[in-house]
Amino acid sequence: MTADVLDGLKADLDKTHAALKRELSHVRTGRASTALLEGLHVEYYGAKTPLNQLASLSAPEPSLLVIQPYDKSVIGAIEKAIQTSDLGLNPQNDGKLIRIPIPPLTEERRRDIVKLVHKRLEEAKTSIRNHRREGMEMLKAFEEEKLITEDDHKRGKQELENLTHRFTARADELGIRKEREIMEM
């Protein structure tokens, strides 16, 4: 029984870690990366469509992103989606391609981005704690129903704590790495 709870918790924590990694990959670091545009959706024939399904994305230079739409009629919608996003980027449209110069980050903007990273990190840690609480409640319910012994309950709680600490440390490590990447000139 405790193994099932631990396996379920580990799967949930793996998903939380993957989501944090994905979220942090979308955070701008001063270098051009197509990951910046991955979460962007464009209004296309009345439906919100992911940008990567409407165009090919590339980063030919460290400070430039290029978007080449498959359908030229969607260029205006792509440009509008980029301008209204919170990315702070200014696209340049030449009728066939959209070029997005990536300006160097100012110290103030870097600090703002680091705050965003800390916010995402705290959300992940909250999720980790919520999963731990659910696991603890399940173990307690199993003990009350006499499905596991008191010793199994205590061992399970300790293993839950260890798992939680391990995943919290992994999340912190991701945050520290991203912060270093952002603050590096």
CATH number for the domain harbouring residue 80: 3.30.1360.40
Could you list the residue range(s) of the whole structural domain that residue 94 is in?
34-101
Q: How confident is the model at residue 28 (pLDDT cuts 50, 70, 90)?
A: low
- 173 vs 27: CA distance, rounded Å: 16
pLDDT tens digits along 45-55: 888 999 888 89
Whether 95 and 111 map to the same domain: the answer is no
Residue 150's H or E segment, with its range, is: helix 150-183
DSSP 39: T
Whether 150 and 94 map to the same domain: the answer is no
- 157 vs 22: CA distance, rounded Å: 29
pLDDT over 70 (residue 185): no
Domain count, the chain: 2
Q: How confident is the model at residue 121 (pLDDT cuts 50, 70, 90)?
A: very high
SS3 171: helix
Rounded to two decimals, what is the model's pTM? 0.70
Whether 40 and 77 map to the same domain: the answer is yes
- 91 vs 82: CA distance, rounded Å: 7
pLDDT over 90 (residue 83): no
pLDDT tens digits along 129-180: 999 999 999 989 988 888 888 888 899 999 999 999 999 999 999 999 989 8
Domain C-terminal end among 101, 126, 150: 101
